[in-house]
Every structure is written in C-alpha cells, then in structure tokens.
Amino acid sequence: MAGLAVRVAGLTLRHPVMNASGILGSHPEGVKLLVDAGVSAVVTKSFTVEPREGYPTPIAVPLPYGLLNAVGLSNPGIDGISVVVEEARRAGLPVVVSIAGSSEDEFSRLASAAEEAGADAIEVNLSCPHAKGMGREIGIEPRLVYSVVSATASVTRIPVIAKLGYVDRLVEAVGKALEAGARAVTLINTLPAMMIDVYAMKPVLGNLVGGLSGPAIHPVAVRAIYEVYREYRIDIIGAGGVEDWRTAAELVLAGARAVQVGTALVTRGLRVIGEIVQGLERYMEEVGVESIEELVGAAHRD
C-alpha cells in the first residue's frame, strides 16, 4: 500500500480514503466502526458549542441517485470532542475534527477545544445546507469565509481545512480561505434540495429542506475540484458521490489528494472503504504509476 500513501494538509495518510463528516463520527462506537472499515483518517461529525438534538424525523430519504438528508447537525456539543478524538488516536489514526458555528467566537472556542483534545487537524464546516445561521450561509460569502477561517486559524497551530459547498463564487471563497490561513479545502458538501410527497402534498423531510448527496452530485464535485485546483494548485480533499475506485480516481485526477466517502457508507456498507482502496491499487497498476501522487491533477496536463 506504500504507493497509495499521501500527504494532505500536513497529514500523512497510508492511503487517500477517509470518511466524510457526519458519518459515524460523533461517538466512540462509530469511530470504532470507521477504524475497522479501514479509513486512513477519522473525520468527526461537526461539533457545535452547545449540544444539538437535530431535526424531527424523517431526517433521511434514500433516492435512486443518492440520499436526501437533514439531520440538523445533531452532536453532543463541545464537551464531546475529547472522547471521540481519544478513540481515534487510540487506533493510531489521524483525526480531523469538524466544527460548525454561527459566530467567529464559537469557531474559535471549538478549534481550541479540538487542539487541546489532541486533534491532528480541524475541518471548518462552511457549507451545511440546512442549518440556519451556520454552514452554507457563511460559505456563500467570501468575506465571511475569510473572517471565520482567520478566527479559527489564529487560535490553533494544527492545520485548518475549509469545507465548502458548490456556490457561485467558489473560487473566490477558496482564495479567501487560503488568505486566512487554511492549509487545504474539502470540496464539496451536499447541495440544498427538497422532495415532496405527491399524495401527502407536503415535503418529506421533517426540516422540509435538506442536502442532496451521492452519485447525483458527483459531476458537480469533479467540476468544483477541477476549477479550484486549476486556479491554486493547493491541497484538496474531494467529496461528493465517491462510490467506488473510479469515482475516487476522478476526483484525484481533477486535483484531489485525498477523498471522503459519505453516502456510500450508508448505501453500500462499511466494506466500501476497502473496495475503493483495492480498486485504486489495481488502477495504478493498469496505468503504470508507482505512487498515487503522480495522478493528482493529471487531468490538467497537456
């Protein structure tokens, strides 16, 4: 597996496949499942300062082309960070703590708590599509992206990763995140979406609006990563519809140095991590490269 080793945002990973935030990363039991699944790093669920119960059910609806969900950033709050980090570090894996807030002060407090708990990096959630006052409402405005990332990076020495969704001014927003001190970006988050029951004649989700993930958003993720890598040649963690080695390879060729798997862990099960890793190994043999680093951004070459 030596040929799959990568460095991203200052982290050394034995292979490029990790979980996406929101999947099994809020409690020790979930972390254990991720470790057993073979992820190269554990990405926690987004933690907020105060505990959040989340939205009323239903919170997730499976679709033929992905998943529609509105969980509501449910998490145990800032005091739950240390327990999750401890479990991941016990397994010897890098741990990336995802944080979400509604003010610079909240992001700063969460970042400090994550570093104190022993996190290896922080992923700043600037793209949740269904939590009012958090996430996407910040990520769509480059000025706010700068303010939040700057506030986060100023209080911690560990790498800060900005997670952004696909927005009209994405390239500009990424630039502001880099100016503010981000070491890498995660692209992309779920897209705002809704489903209506034609017989009940009302939205299906308890929160009405949710985030669309899975295969339906994969081409959007490919484009976002391609555009950002073309502009900045930075460390990118790709997310969005990674279902198998081929979709993972697409994001790498577009410019991602690592990938996150979310919906596929729900729809295909934990085995999907190992399947993607093995598939990438075979793909590297087929195309004749010894290190996956050689494939990062290869789609940009003449």
Question: Is 69 annotated for ligand binding?
Answer: yes
Question: Is 19 annotated for ligand binding?
Answer: no
Question: Is 163 annotated for ligand binding?
Answer: yes
Question: Is 45 annotated for ligand binding?
Answer: yes
Question: Is 188 annotated for ligand binding?
Answer: yes
Compute CA distances 71 → 22, 128, 129, 206, 210, whole Å: 9, 10, 11, 9, 8
Question: Is 125 annotated for ligand binding?
Answer: yes
Question: Is 140 annotated for ligand binding?
Answer: no
Question: Is 207 annotated for ligand binding?
Answer: no
Question: Is 44 annotated for ligand binding?
Answer: no
- 3-state SS, one letter per residue, for the chain: CHHHCEEECCEEECCCEEECCCCCCCCHHHHHHHHHHCCCCEECCCECCCCECCCCCCCEEEECCEEEECCCCCECCHHHHHHHHHHHHHCCCCEEEEECCCCHHHHHHHHHHHHHHCCCEEEEECCCCCCCCCCHHHHCCHHHHHHHHHHHHCCCCCCEEEEECCCCCHHHHHHHHHHCCCCEEEECCCEEEECEECCCCEECCCCCEEEEECHHHHHHHHHHHHHHHHHHCCCEEEECCCCCHHHHHHHHHHCCCEEEECHHHHHCCCCHHHHHHHHHHHHHHHHCCCCHHHHCCHHHCC
Question: Is 135 annotated for ligand binding?
Answer: no
Active-site choice (18, 81, 114, 128): 128
Question: Is 54 annotated for ligand binding?
Answer: no
Question: Is 241 annotated for ligand binding?
Answer: yes
The question of whether 145 is a catalytic residue gets the answer no
Question: Is 114 annotated for ligand binding?
Answer: no
Question: Is 189 annotated for ligand binding?
Answer: yes
Question: Is 25 annotated for ligand binding?
Answer: no
Closest CA to 218 of 259, 258, 180, 181: 259
Q: Residues at the annotated binding site for substrate?
A: 45, 69-73, 125, 189-190
Annotated catalytic residues are: 128
Q: Residues at the annotated binding site?
A: 21, 45-46, 69-73, 125, 163, 188-190, 214, 240-241, 262-263
Q: Residues at the annotated binding site for FMN?
A: 21, 45-46, 125, 163, 188, 214, 240-241, 262-263
